[in-house]
Amino acid sequence: MLKGKAALVTGSTSGIGLGIARSLAAQGADMVLNGFGDAQQIEHLRRELAAEYGVRVLYSAADMSRPEEITDMIERTTAGLGRLDILVNNAGIQYTAPVEEFPAERWDQIIAINLSAAFHAIRAALPQMRRRNWGRIVNVASTHGLVASAHKVAYVAAKHGILGMTKVVALETATTGVTCNAICPGWVLTPLVQKQIDDLAASRKIPVEAAKIELLGEKQPSHEFATPEQIGALAVFLCSDGAAQIRGAALPVDGAWTAQ
């Protein structure tokens, strides 16, 4: 479905971002991966995706806290793949503490990576999408873009900001072939979350399944995790012609978390 299209997914060397990148590549999109990690592992991943899906796969080590590196990444993507049709803003970090104890430098870092980075990427990518009258911008927000949790002031503020930005971009592109939407995952089973489950099971001396239910129980009524593959499938749909009039939406994938 996406053959001939070029995609950039930020924060895509693991977790949700990698799930989205795989899903887009499986539909024929050429791809730029972005993120931190072991250089050899990332190169192995890049080669693996290219071979498995028969697409071109590049890698950018751009730091999402640095606007000039984000702009350069968009330019290098366009030069390397000839175009940029699909931009997925996924990169994000987390830190938890009560508001009065929240370090100011952590606030600045989270706002920079979780919110400002998406603005800089959209700002740099949008002109060529407008010229071709086709583009898909998918912002990975969170249930925390719709509701809040204690001790996550910067993350919640950034994700609420992502939803506001999504709506503005959708309005400004409403009469074009460019769409902008947000995906709002709840608990997603990534390697990082699996480690939390395993650690909880070990510390409480309970079965892994019981630890999983305990972790999910407070927030996610389904008692099941979403998966990176499910998030990727939704991103693919948002890139399809069937989603051409879905604009400015915040789409939860949260096991009924925000239905409460």
Report whether 167 contacts 247 (CB < 8 A).
Answer: no
Choose, from 53, 59, 95, 155, the residue flagged as catalytic.
Answer: 155
Phi, psi of 36 (to 5 degrees): -100, 165
Instruction: State the amino acid at position 249 in one-letter form.
Output: A
- The span from the CA of 154 to the CA of 95, in Å, is 8
Half-sphere exposure of 12 (CA within 13 A, CB side): 33
Q: What share of the chain is helix, strand, coil (3-state, %, to 5)?
A: 55, 15, 30
Q: What is the rounded distance in angstroms from the CA atom of residue 203 to the CA atom of residue 260?
A: 30
Q: What are phi and psi of 212, to 5 degrees?
A: -60, -45
d(CA 7, CA 117): 17
- 221-238 burial string, b = 16+ CB within 10 Å, else e? eeeebbbbebbbbbbbeb
Residue listed under structure tokens 């940029």: 84
Q: What residues are paired with 58 via a beta bridge? A: 32
DSSP E strands, the chain? 6-9, 30-34, 57-60, 86-89, 135-140, 178-185, 250-253
Full DSSP string of 108-124: HHHHIIIIIHHHHHHHH
95 catalytic, yes or no? no
Distance CA 71, CA 83 (A): 14
Please give the positions annotated as active site. 155
